[in-house]
Amino acid sequence: MLRKTASALAACAISALLIAAAPSAPAATGSAAPPSLTIVSSLPRTGSANSQTTSIVNGIKMAIEERGGKIGEFEIRYEDMDDASPQKGNWDQNIEAANANKAAKDPTCVGYIGTYNSGAAKIAMPILNKAGLVMVSPGNTYPGLTKPGAGEANEPKIYRPSGTISYFRVVPTDDIQGAVACEFCAKDLGSKKAFILHDRELYGKGIADVFKKSAPGMGIEVAGFEGIDPKASNYRSLVTKIRSTGADVVFYGGTTQTNAAQILKDLRSGGCKVPFVTPDGTFENAYIEAAGKDAMAPESGSVYITFGGLPSEQLTGRGAEFVERYKKKHGEVPEAYAVYGYEACKVLLDAIDRAATKNDRAAVLAAVAATKDFQGALGTWSFDANGDTTNRLMSINTVKDGKFAFVKAAGGGTGQAK
Amino acid sequence: MLRAAAAADQLAILALARADSLPAFASDGVLSSSEVFSQQLVTGLSNGMIIALIAIGYTMVYGIVELINFAHGDLCMLGAFFALTAVGAFALEGAGGAGGTAGLVALLLATAAFCGALNWSINRLAYRPLRSASKLSLLVSAIGASFVLVNLGLFWGGLPMEVFAGGTSAAAPKAFPALVEPKPAFTVGDVIVSRPDVLVLAVTVPLMLALTWLVRFTKLGKAMRAVAQNPTAASLMGIDVERVIGATFFIGGALGGFATVVYSIYNQTVGFQMGYRMGMDAFIAAVLGGIGNLPGAVLGGLVIGVVRAMSDGYVEARWTNAIVFGLLILILVFRPSGLLGAKLREKV
Amino acid sequence: MAAARRNPWVPVAGLAALAAWPLVEPALPASLQVGEPLTEVFIYAILALGLNVLTGFTGLLNLGVAAFAAIGAYAYSIATCEVYPFQLGFWPALAVTGAIGALAGFALGAPTLRVRGDYLAIVTLGFGEIVKDVLVNLDAITKGTQGINPLPPPSLLGTPLEARGQYWLYLGFVVATFVGVRALERSRVGRAWISIREDELASRAMGIRPDRAKMLAFATCAALAALSGALLVSRLSSSGEPSNYGFEVSIIALCIVIVGGIGSVRGTLLGAFVMVGMNSIVLVRLTEVLGSGAEGMAAAAPAADAGMLAHAWHFVRTWAHNVLLTPTNWKFLLFGLALVLMMVFRPQGILPPRAVHEDPPQPVPPGSEGVRA
Amino acid sequence: MSAILEVKDVTMRFGGLVANERVSLSVRPGEIFAVIGPNGAGKTTLFNAITGIYEPTEGDVLFEGRPIRREWTAADRIRGLAVGAVSAVAAVLALNATALWTAAINDRYVMGEPFPWGGALGSVPATLRDAGFWTTWFAAIAAFAVGRLAFGAIWRAQRRTPDLVARAGIARTFQNIRLFGEMNLVENVLVGMDQHFRSGYWACLVRTPGFRRERERMRRRAFELLQFVDLADEAAEPARSLPYGHQRRLEIARALATKPRLILLDEPAAGMNPAESADLMKLIRRIRESGITVVLIEHDMKVVMGISDRIAVLQYGKKIAEGTPEAIRNDPVCVAAYLGTEELG
């Protein structure tokens, strides 16, 4: 009896595998199909970052649709890879490596959009670089990936074993954003004493570190600098600590997933009404929804969010067009991340076009690197020598009536933010 | 790039920011050191009491089937989603006064029933077929059940309801309305004892008393203790062991249901991944007190709550987890069966 | 009873198939190529074989085996990476890693010898959390969440190995681990472990010293886990971040041991294929299929109109759009369900251990009656 | 003749329950000594007290004139101090890890340049001096105390463990059979022989020639022991599949495998039919002939009276009589104790 069930189970598993194998088979064997190029994205699709990555993927798909799914004679195929595992509910180094290797081996693949997490980029970058496959990230903000001297001494050289730069990103880096946030606290909020929190992750701690470094120069005293436990149920004891220091602003380097809303709620219910400033990891509706009406109400104290670009409703030109189309298709205003995905894919498609539409990774790579004065949804920008966007425009936002409201632009279009 | 039209509006926002950045706190005081200590103690005890409430349900099930029930925290998580759905469906938010209190009591009872029934069903489907198998197989089954529950929580968060913000970002944490407003119930100096703190106490203590009564004096309680000691002997004495186990799962789950409502009101957040920490804290509390020991679980919960608060307040938040676990290991080195656990004597 | 012997050619054939796989794979259609995950299987297999020594043989439930892997991964990273002055080669670093791992095993095992059963389970779980937190918090040493990179690739006789070479090298490690653990199992060491699992008191009364045996089990488990961690990071060329060695990894390793058959070395090996395969291959493929189906469903859904039924239909559709139609949202469920079903239908695991390890000596020397003489 | 086993005024108390009260026994080398008494008289408890499973509440157990107990030797004192010292060093290193590492490595290492190994340790004293009292001296003293206390706690719990008793030369069987059910017979016996193996961990891991020779030798000896108790035919069976009487004999073989000088048999004839009991009596005599002293608990009076040299009678935890089978049979107190339950002989 038991044997029977076991073998039945095994049969089920095998047939599931076969079914799973089926749909991709024709693409590999069919010779009559039109020539195609593949763009893949590798983002954490399982678990807590799912809503952001969904909007990125929506953006990518829109960019491809705009081109009619074709460039020249080539059909553009898109594969949405997941670099998260269900057990972790977050990106997994093994899966990211597997994704990168799979893309590197696929002869039709000419572009890799990803990753979302900078840590994952560190794994994928050398693999893709060796394969000469261009990588455009819609989400990595760790400066060391591209900027010499910003991270470890051997960064970013180690991510470029082949010697050429094959990694580009359409988002401004943490060092710019952290400084902008600090400047805003000092100049606009008139803060004198800041309590800095971070989630101990690459992104959150990176920004908090920059904030801390910039603070003395802006006349802000650092009342405290603490890494929190992003899985804690509440932060009331920390709030008590913050209250006892008399800080007049709280900066949290973290994301919605690492409990930014919970900190805000505990601050407010603990009677602490100082402004609460967070980076773009919280620039999504989920943050407002997670925090709830009371914590976001103006009488509880103000809330600010920095963002590496302009919010959707402030976009003009192509950006505004994108927002319109997105609204029409999905029935909602796109989240901030959608634009990044859209822009990353658009720049890639543009490069494929300029590379005379060939299945040639080197040509595509060269074309991406040569991107100059690109008229995208995020404005007009170029890739600099490191592979970073020259777009340094930041915005400061707040929350008003349950919606993000633009406060001011900061950072400047081309100037150095520091 | 800027739209000039919005500029005035923005300046107004900034002016508002400057204005309210000054009065940092209602009574405008920077806490004195003794007040900080008292405030941390209040926080620690409240959090500890919630942990204790989850831990008793956990330790009850452990006592009877010796299962490290990994799904317990995730069960509580689903309970929180159930409660949030109920809050949305019956518009419990903002119903003040007697109606609000009645609503709250109804919510507590309904969630308890839901969690109890769910726990009973999980036992039926995932644990009962494994009664004669090794404990480790049971453990893996519990791990599997916990994954399933987490996924159900994710689905639940995607329901297109207003309380779930339309469900568009299912994975994001959801705000749980402050059914008991986080206003001070009373203050001592600058130390706040908030209304949710009082709620925690008001739910936890009666439940613990009721549970003690149940285990000590009712027929079911006696049967539960008999099954915990020796299932074979209990069944020879005419006790329907499976029914008793099922009842224990129901009661353990129901306690989790009460706990999760209190937890949600206290923290005002629910999310599909919150079960991990809830279950983990309950597990630590139960072990610290001596697994299967009800007063032990309460003591363990309180200890953990207070240690967490003190560590956050006086050491550094980033070391809190390590300190809690380090303390646990240290206690177990000296007292291998927990604080109140009986010394195991093997029958030879 | 002799019928219980398994066919000795099965493992040989399996090994041959695995060894030949990299040569065969490129010839297969793309949909049947597995690639990367197989090397991951090997790494998990070593981790799980180590855990099997502690949990399977000795009966000590360890919920924090990933901590040893983390220690190994970071020891290897610090020993080899160019941002530190040590810069050992692949093999010396592996030796150092194994030693540090064993030491960590002693450090955890020694003070907790008196802690039994589920109390020990939470001690190990806590150890796992502590190690992870320490690795994040001591960022001056470990680079915190930045990770340490680049790490030198595995090498053999001074030649760095590329993907295929790594595959074979790692396969070699799995075989060596398998043989070693088997050898231990069938010696006095393994017998002592198993006797402790079966009945600690009786084995004590027979003169076995459980403390020593448990310490050896802890050290063996920790050293193997550390080795798996080192192999993992040297393949990825980066230590990754500490959260990559969290509770989930411990849980997968435990599931491998139990699903494979507690205490069974072969079962553990098979379990690694089943679990990692399910995770990295079946779930991925399954979500691909579901994905194509889901798009079709979304397109086929009719528009909403008035009325109660339509309202409900709209509700369900929106819900489906929000979560249900995204196949990756089903991964937890499928994984968990598979675990429960496997346990319910085969609680003893896929390949439970054989009772018989030692055969009696065949030629019986005559006239051996006077035993005590 | 001096006694091989001397139980002196042993009292075992569990909370309010007194299982043994001032029991004294004296077993001579080479004799077969039986302990009898009604159920609940405290016989098994006495065995457990002798073999180190329980620690006597009061009284003492001497084996060959000496107590079997770890003494707090100079080596233990050094070990305790060493554990304390290691904890102290570990605590100080852990608490100052960042500062120490930064001073020794990060501040001195420039990538691409050779690392000045010489001065790396030189930075340690200065770093610790800067660290201040709490993370150095205080931490060291506190960690030393905790480490030393933990060592003491573990040592105390292990003063007289069953493995120490077994290695000293006392083997036993269990009333409620405790074989290793998943192992076969040969392996069960091999577990008993464990202390006589000489190959260590590494030899087992790489299967050295010495290991293989020893393994062969030990397996043969295990098989001989199985022949000795008449179980050779079932040598490859898993222990749990044996019939009850055979399991009892296997327990005896396993106990003999430890090469004891004294063997304690807890109800060896329980559940045996008369023919099996008779075989058992022969077996016990053969054990004694091989030079091993036998102490047994038994309810089967035929067995007891048939093979015992001397008998002690326990009732309600107290010894009420001791003497030859002849004397016990005629002792009115003993007869009274057994009245209504069993007839003596």
- A102-116 confidence digits (pLDDT tens): 888 888 888 999 889
* Residue D181 belongs to domain spanning: 177-259
Say how far apart CA B223 and CA B210 lie, in whole Å: 17
On whether both D215 and D107 belong to a single domain, the answer is no
Structure tokens that stand for C319 in this block: 């819900």
Distances in Å between the alpha carbon of A225 and those of A221, B235, D56? 11, 59, 57
Collapsing DSSP to helix, strand or coil, A277 comes out as strand
On whether both D57 and D165 belong to a single domain, the answer is yes
On whether both A270 and A370 belong to a single domain, the answer is no
On whether both D50 and D84 belong to a single domain, the answer is no
User: pLDDT confidence of B181, banded at 50, 70, 90?
Assistant: confident
Where is average pLDDT lowest: A15-19, A271-275, A396-400, D165-169? A15-19
Query: For residue C200, is pLDDT > 50?
Result: yes
On whether both D198 and D266 belong to a single domain, the answer is no
On whether both D81 and D152 belong to a single domain, the answer is yes
Considering only residues 68 to 97 of chain A, which have any Cβ-Cβ distance to chain B shorter than 8 Å?
A: 86-87, 89
- Number of domains comprising chain B: 1
Give me the pLDDT at residue B20, please: 43
Q: What is the pLDDT of residues A347-382, one digit of tens each?
A: 999 888 888 766 788 888 888 888 888 888 888 888
Burial class (CB in 10 A: 0-12, 13-18, 19+), B285: buried
Query: For residue C14, is pLDDT > 90?
Result: no
Say how far apart CA A135 and CA A372 lie, in whole Å: 17
Residue C134 identity: V
Comparing CB atoms, the residue among A189, A233, A413 nearest residue B21 is A189
CA-based nearest distance D160→chain C, Å: 11
Give me the pLDDT at residue B15, please: 46
Query: For residue B155, is pLDDT > 70?
Result: yes
> Would you say B335 and C111 are in contact if contact means Cβ atoms under 8 Å apart?
no
Give me the pLDDT at residue B183, please: 81
Q: Tell me, what's the ipTM?
A: 0.88
Q: What is the mean pLDDT of residues B183-211?
A: 87
Domain-located, residue A7: no
**Interface contact A408-B14, CB threshold 8 A:** yes
**Which is more confident, A35 or C296?**
A35
On whether both D131 and D118 belong to a single domain, the answer is yes
On whether both A160 and A254 belong to a single domain, the answer is no
- Number of domains comprising chain A: 2
Give me the pLDDT at residue C364, please: 43
CA-based nearest distance C303→chain B, Å: 17
**Which is more confident, A299 or C31?**
A299
Q: What is the pLDDT of residues D130-187, one digit of tens each?
A: 888 888 899 999 999 999 998 998 888 888 889 999 999 999 999 989 999 888 899 9
What value does the mean pLDDT of chain D take? 89
Say how far apart CA B60 and CA A206 lie, in whole Å: 44
Query: For residue A251, is pLDDT > 90?
Result: yes
Q: What is the mean pLDDT of residues D322-340?
A: 81
What value does the mean pLDDT of chain C take? 83
Which residue bears the tokens 């060896």? D268
Domains and CATH numbers, chain C: 34-282 (1.10.3470), 284-345 (no CATH)
Domain-located, residue A299: yes
- Residues near C186 by Cβ (< 8 Å), separated by ≥ 6? C357, C358
Q: What is the pLDDT of residues B292-340, one digit of tens each?
A: 888 899 999 999 999 999 999 998 899 999 999 999 998 988 888 888 8
Query: For residue A119, is pLDDT > 80?
Result: yes
Domain-located, residue A360: yes
Q: Quick one: closest CA in B to D143, which residue?
A: B330
Collapsing DSSP to helix, strand or coil, B79 comes out as helix
Q: What is the mean pLDDT of residues B57-62?
A: 89
Give me the pLDDT at residue B302, please: 95
Give me the pLDDT at residue D218, please: 92
Query: For residue B16, is pLDDT > 50?
Result: no
Looking at chain D, the number of H-run helices and the number of E-run strands are 14, 10
The residue out of D205, D238, D259 marking a domain boundary is D259
What is the SS3 assignment for A74-122? Answer: EEEEEEEEECEECCCCEECHHHHHHHHHHHHHCCCEEEEECCCCHHHHH
Domain-located, residue D39: yes
* Residue B198 belongs to domain spanning: 53-275
Say how far apart CA A330 and CA B289 lie, in whole Å: 53
Say how far apart CA B273 and CA A47 lie, in whole Å: 9
Of residues A86, A118, A84, A121, the one with CA closest to residue A100: A121
Of residues A401, A416, A387, A406, the one with CA closest to residue A128: A387
Query: For residue C31, is pLDDT > 70?
Result: no
Q: Quick one: closest CA in D to B329, which residue?
A: D150
CATH number at residue A279: 3.40.50.2300
Strands, sheet with D5-14, edge to edge from the N-terminal-most edge strand: D17-27, D5-14, D58-63, D66-67
Q: Is residue D155 less than 8 Å (CB to CB) from chain B? A: no
* Residue A338 belongs to domain spanning: 34-172+318-381
% of chain A residues with pLDDT over 70:
89
% of chain B residues with pLDDT over 90:
43
On whether both D2 and D62 belong to a single domain, the answer is yes
On whether both A77 and A128 belong to a single domain, the answer is yes
Give me the pLDDT at residue D80, please: 94
Domain-located, residue A27: no
Domain-located, residue B317: no
Q: Residue C77: list chain A partners with CB under 8 A.
A: none
Give me the pLDDT at residue C6, please: 62
Q: What is the pLDDT of residues D259-283, one digit of tens each?
A: 999 999 999 998 888 999 999 999 9
> Would you say D293 and D4 are in contact if contact means Cβ atoms under 8 Å apart?
yes
Residue C119 identity: Y
Give me the pLDDT at residue A412, please: 59
Domain-located, residue D284: no
Give me the pLDDT at residue A15, please: 47
Residue D52 identity: G
Say how far apart CA C146 and CA A119 lie, in whole Å: 7
Say how far apart CA A106 and CA A77 lie, in whole Å: 12
% of chain D residues with pLDDT over 70:
97
* Per-residue buried b or exposed e for C149-164, using 16+ beta carbons within 10 Å of the residue's own CB: bbbbbbbeeeeebeee
Domain-located, residue B334: no
Give me the pLDDT at residue A94, please: 83
Q: Residue D257: list chain C partners with CB under 8 A.
A: 206
**Interface contact C364-D179, CB threshold 8 A:** no
Q: What is the mean pLDDT of residues A115-136?
A: 90
Domain-located, residue D277: no
What value does the mean pLDDT of chain A take? 83
Of residues A326, A380, A375, the one with CA closest to residue A350: A375
**Interface contact A407-B13, CB threshold 8 A:** yes
On whether both A267 and A403 belong to a single domain, the answer is yes
On whether both A154 and A229 belong to a single domain, the answer is no
Which residue bears the tokens 């149920």? A233
On whether both D64 and D87 belong to a single domain, the answer is no
Give me the pLDDT at residue A49, please: 78
On whether both A203 and A257 belong to a single domain, the answer is yes
Other C-beta atoms within 10 Å of B22: how many?
A: 11
Q: What is the pTM of this model?
A: 0.89
Domain-located, residue A22: no
Domain-located, residue D283: no
Domain-located, residue D287: no
Query: For residue A20, is pLDDT > 60?
Result: no
- Residues near C12 by Cβ (< 8 Å), separated by ≥ 6? none
Q: What is the mean pLDDT of residues C314-328?
A: 78
Write down which chains contact chain D via at least 3 CB pairs under 8 A.
B, C
User: pLDDT confidence of A3, banded at 50, 70, 90?
Assistant: very low
Domain-located, residue A357: yes
Q: What is the mean pLDDT of residues A35-58?
A: 85
Domain-located, residue B286: no
Where is average pLDDT lowest: C38-52, C230-244, C309-323, D59-73? C309-323
Query: For residue B70, is pLDDT > 50?
Result: yes
Where is average pLDDT lowest: A152-156, B235-239, D45-49? A152-156
Say how far apart CA B11 and CA A407 lie, in whole Å: 8
Q: What is the mean pLDDT of residues A215-231?
A: 91
Alpha helices per DSSP H over C52-89: 65-80
Give me the pLDDT at residue C117, please: 83
On whether both D19 and D165 belong to a single domain, the answer is yes
Domain-located, residue A233: yes
Q: Taken in order B334, B337, B339, B343, is the CA torsion positive or negative?
A: negative
Domain-located, residue D286: no
Query: For residue A21, is pLDDT > 70?
Result: no
Give me the pLDDT at residue A197, please: 95
Q: What is the mean pLDDT of residues A179-186?
A: 91
CA-based nearest distance D225→chain C, Å: 7
Q: What is the mean pLDDT of residues B101-128?
A: 93
CA-based nearest distance C175→chain A, Å: 22
- Number of domains comprising chain D: 3
Domain-located, residue D279: no
On whether both A144 and A120 belong to a single domain, the answer is yes
> Would you say B310 and B294 are in contact if contact means Cβ atoms under 8 Å apart?
no
Say how far apart CA D219 and CA B49 lie, in whole Å: 59
Domain-located, residue B191: yes
**Interface contact D53-B348, CB threshold 8 A:** yes
Q: What is the pLDDT of residues C282-301, one digit of tens each?
A: 777 777 777 666 666 655 55
Which residue bears the tokens 């269900």? A86
Q: Residue B184: list chain A partners with CB under 8 A.
A: 271
Give me the pLDDT at residue B25, please: 43
Q: What is the pLDDT of residues A309-338, one digit of tens each?
A: 778 777 778 888 888 888 888 877 788 788
Say how far apart CA B181 and CA B266 lie, in whole Å: 9
User: pLDDT confidence of C73, banded at 50, 70, 90?
Assistant: very high
Where is average pLDDT lowest: A284-293, A404-413, C176-185, D10-19? A404-413
Say how far apart CA C89 and CA B201 lie, in whole Å: 60
Of residues A76, A51, A80, the one with CA closest to residue A65: A76
A388: DSSP letter: B
